[in-house]
Amino acid sequence: MSEPLQRDVMECDVVIVGAGPAGLSAAIRLAQLGQEAGQPLTVIVVEKGAEVGAHILSGAVLEPRALNELLPDWKERGAPLHTPVATDEFRLLLGSSSLRLPTPPQMKNHGNYIISLGNLCRWLASQAEALGVQIFPGFPAAQAIIADGAVKGVITGDFGVDKKGDHKAGFQPGIELRAKHTLFAEGCRGSLSQQLMQAFDLRKECDPQTYALGIKELWEIDPALHTPGKVSHTVGWPLPSDTYGGSFLYHMENHQLAVGFVVGLDYSNPHLDPYQEFQKFKTHPSIAPVFAGGRRISYGARALNEGGVQSLPTLSFPGGSLIGCAAGLLNVPKIKGTHTAMKSGMLAAEAVFANTPETYPEALKNSWVWEELYAARNIRPAFHKGLWAGMLYAALDTYILRGKAPWTFRNHADHTQLKEASGCPKPDYPKPDGVVTFSRMDSVFLSATNHEENQPCHLTLKDPAVPVDINLPLYNAPEQRYCPAGVYEIVEEAGAARLQINAQNCVHCKTCDIKDPTQNIVWVPPEGGGGPNYPNM
């Protein structure tokens, strides 16, 4: 029998898993409270990306409400909010034309800023460190420590394990970070957060969480075509009307354009390919001209929550709390979750500092976060009946009912929604032109994703037979299309089909963990520092 691993142990007051806006806001608030009370706490933040921001991908238009509360003098401190939103535009794309629609109130961005969320996180990290918070990038939390019915901290991932699970030269066991309280701020579909929801039965009183996949590119465009502060959203073409989704185009600083496409993961046609839908979208006659003379500089993808308040799990449990998108706090009609993630982190920090962490869910319910999420709760589920019914209901809910309908629409799990491939039409996806549209592999290259090759595959299969025995015959192996990084490939070997997993391409979007129809794929953190290296996504 092998000896149990001897791990280094670090004790602290609070461990925070994830250096995104939720985790960093919590860290800053804890440090501020400690300073004010003259009782500094030891706060440790672990981050799986090689540096803070490396795994952060967002739109992003920031509503600065939570930032104003957390660091009211952010301007003087040099926060990277350089581009105030100047104009908003909302359009319906039809085959080859487009129709400008009134911008829904939730999508009006006066007073907001177009930012790179990765850069905001880098700046928040510097503010946290200046207050004494310790941040460890390159250290994924691999496991929660649960003892006597409570979370007691986390264990970070081991370094130097080979494909077969054996130790390589230079092997270093993960560290036990023991804390009085642990805040899970892993973002959408966090791997430990998923385990905790099971361990503490946190989802027993809510609807299933629902998700979308967001795919994004960053372009440097011709200055003559750049309108700093312009925000555009579209719905419609090329998505079929029974599939939820749409695009965003944000004109940022330095002639950069953030362009992205979001597809609801409750789509039912297994032939649909979100990546190809995005590429096709860019060819629309009202969109393509903006790329003329431009250059694509980055690519990435990330899932986002769409379930709203009816899908929120229990947020607090012995020894730990879920904050930000790990809990599911995104406001879908606004397509914004950063301000709510930050505020939830701040509220959890206040509850933890007061030694009453169990009061955090109630504090959230009494805050503006709840008020806006509650009002928005019926809009996304209304689109289950398709684009037209959804738009009609959204208008009714916004202008007449004002979010106060005496009913709440229910959510369903995305992985249950795929129909069998044989009864579904195959969309037509043109070949990439290498100018506006690109192959998946060219795109993955721009994500700068990188994983040590000789390590256990972080895309684990509960049953290795399912991809070929079930997914291939019934759904035409949909993982080949929903993965935006080409990780999954059905290959023929000696006359038999086999699923090949190109794990080194993974950009950590978590879509496979969500959409696999039999829930057979489980995403676990790879060795620290592996994954995308986003510059300013």
Ligand X SMILES: Cc1cc2nc3c(=O)[nH]c(=O)nc-3n(C[C@H](O)[C@H](O)[C@H](O)COP(=O)(O)OP(=O)(O)OC[C@H]3O[C@@H](n4cnc5c(N)ncnc54)[C@H](O)[C@@H]3O)c2cc1C
321: Cβ contacts below 8 Å, ≥ 6 apart: 181, 182, 183, 184, 315, 348, 351, 352, 357, 360
User: Which entry of ligand X, ligand SF4, none binds 185, CB below 5 to 8 A by partner kind?
Assistant: ligand X
CB-nearer residue toward ligand SF4: 343 or 510 = 510
Stretch of residues binding ligand X (CB under 6 A), selected from 18-26, 167-175, 352-360, 445-453: 18-26
Tokens encoding 157 = 């991932």
Stretch of residues binding ligand SF4 (CB under 6 A), selected from 83-91, 158-166, 461-469, 477-485: 477-485
506 is catalytic: yes
Binding to ligand X, residues 493-522 (CB under 6 A): none
User: Which entry of ligand SF4, ligand X, none binds 510, CB below 5 to 8 A by partner kind?
Assistant: ligand SF4
- Using CB under 6 A, pick the residue from 191, 210, 234, 443 that binds ligand X: 191
Amino acid at 487: V
- CB–CB of 255/226 below 8 Å? yes
26: Cβ contacts below 8 Å, ≥ 6 apart: 14, 16, 183, 185, 323, 345, 346, 348, 349
Q: Does 459 bind ligand SF4 (CB under 6 A)?
A: yes
- CB–CB of 219/294 below 8 Å? yes
- Using CB under 6 A, pick the residue from 21, 34, 153, 478 that binds ligand X: 21
Binding residues for ligand X, rule CB under 6 A, total: 46
Stretch of residues binding ligand SF4 (CB under 6 A), selected from 51-59, 112-120, 141-149, 507-515: 507-515
Packing angle, helices 21-37 and 338-353, rounded to 10:
30
Q: Does 212 bind ligand SF4 (CB under 6 A)?
A: no
Nearest to 172 by CA among 185, 163, 161: 161
Residues in a beta bridge with 299: 217
- CB–CB of 280/224 below 8 Å? no
512 is catalytic: yes
Nearest to 14 by CA among 150, 138, 186, 153: 153
CB-nearer residue toward ligand SF4: 484 or 528 = 484
Stretch of residues binding ligand X (CB under 6 A), selected from 46-54, 195-203, 417-425, 440-448: 46-54
- Using CB under 6 A, pick the residue from 50, 146, 192, 421 that binds ligand X: 192
- Using CB under 6 A, pick the residue from 80, 174, 337, 357 that binds ligand X: 337
483 is catalytic: yes
- Using CB under 6 A, pick the residue from 80, 324, 357, 517 that binds ligand X: 324
- Using CB under 6 A, pick the residue from 14, 16, 48, 332 that binds ligand X: 48
CA dist 378 and 325 (Å) reads: 19
Binding residues for ligand SF4, rule CB under 6 A, total: 13
CA dist 242 and 485 (Å) reads: 25
CA dist 300 and 527 (Å) reads: 20
Q: How many helices (H) and strands (E) does the chain have?
A: 15, 24
Amino acid at 363: A
Q: Does 265 bind ligand SF4 (CB under 6 A)?
A: no
Whether omega before 238 lies within 30 degrees of 0, making that bond cis, reads: yes
Place of tokens 């759904």: 475
**Would you tell me which residues interact with ligand SF4 (CB under 6 A)?**
459, 483-485, 487, 506-512, 523
Q: Given the rule CB under 6 A, which residues bind ligand X?
A: 17-23, 46-49, 55-62, 117, 140-141, 185-188, 190-192, 214, 216, 260, 262, 302, 304, 324-326, 330, 335-339, 341, 525
